[in-house]
Structure 1
Amino acid sequence: MNQSSSGAAAGLSVMHELMVRAGVPEERPVPVPATLRYDSTVPYAVCLSLGVPSTGTVDWVFARSLLLEGLRRPRGLGDVLVRPLHRGQRGSVRIVLRSPAGVALLEIAVSAVTAFLEATHLVVAPGTEELHIDLDRLVAELMDGSE
């Protein structure tokens, strides 16, 4: 876990590097480096980056609650689905990512996801996310974009 704080605007962040097993339907998955990130300035979301920064990453942003709920039962609609994996790699969670380019199937150890989520809960407790949204900053950003 990386936690950094440099004032209220910067917030606190959590970063967890891990290996995931990634594949496409009908193919064997292969190990791929990944990073789960959380920032308290965007309290409802997590980011999953696949690959390494030096060669480029593919980033997916989705609800932290989706990741948490997907540990216990299938959750999600549309582009991101999360569910416990009952066959194959036990002790894993499957994340299905859909885009116009196709479908990616990821398997991540439940222990890695749980450790990451526990660290995010120390930064922003579930149910208190709205207290961490800087509405003044959000309005200022929206106003800057409207000019």
Structure 2
Amino acid sequence: MAVTLQQPTRARLITPEGQERNLPVVLRYSAEDPLAVQITFPSSASLDGAEVTWIFARQLLEDGLSAPAGSGDVHIWPCGRARTVLEFHSYQGMALVQFDKIALRRFLTRSYAAVPAGGEETGLDLDQGLSRLLGGV
């Protein structure tokens, strides 16, 4: 059975007016998809009233804790000593979300305990992944 970690935490959505709005979010990591992390935002944070989950590279989150990182839809950078900013881009627009750096670091530490850095490939079953991708089991 693959390890799945969930860590509820708080984030701050930065509105276009510069206001901060507290949000409960859930950070997830699964050994079945060892290269990725997930952040799920509540339905109250989306334009269409649906829960939103972003999935991106665990390494991107790690890199963004100490220096600006990312291209495309997700950008991450440190904001002072205590916070980290995640910027998400979609066809509907852009969202800026601040996290306490310690919460993200705790989550990453737990994920590395489940699947150490560099050990991600040993947890991947290429045949099973291709089968799922191509509509099999």
TM-score (ref. length: structure 1): 0.83
1:114 to 93, 105, 120: 105
TM-align CA RMSD: 1.8
Q: Residue deviations 1:19-62, cap 9 Å, x none?
A: 1001233331200110000000101000000116xx74211000
Q: Distance in 1 between matches of 2:92 and 2:33?
A: 27
Q: Distance in 1 between matches of 2:62 and 2:94?
A: 22
Alignment size in residue pairs: 132
Q: Distance in 2 between matches of 1:134 and 1:19?
A: 34
2:32 to 41, 44, 47: 41
Q: Distance in 2 between matches of 1:58 and 1:139?
A: 26
Which residue number corresponds to residue 124 of structure 1? 115
Q: Distance in 1 between matches of 2:129 and 2:22?
A: 38
Following superposition, the deviation at residue 135 of structure 1 comes to 1.6
Which residue number corresponds to residue 64 of structure 1? 58
Following superposition, the deviation at residue 142 of structure 1 comes to 3.4
Which residue number corresponds to residue 4 of structure 1? none
TM-score (ref. length: structure 2): 0.89
Q: Distance in 1 between matches of 2:85 and 2:131?
A: 38
Go from structure 1 to structure 2 and tell me whether the alpha carbon gap of 1:143 and 1:104 turns closer, same or farther (over 3 Å shift): closer
Which consecutive unaligned segments of at least 5 residues does structure 1 have? 1-6
1:23 is aligned to 2:14: yes
Following superposition, the deviation at residue 124 of structure 1 comes to 0.4
1:138 is aligned to 2:132: no
1:80 is aligned to 2:83: no
Following superposition, the deviation at residue 138 of structure 1 comes to 1.4
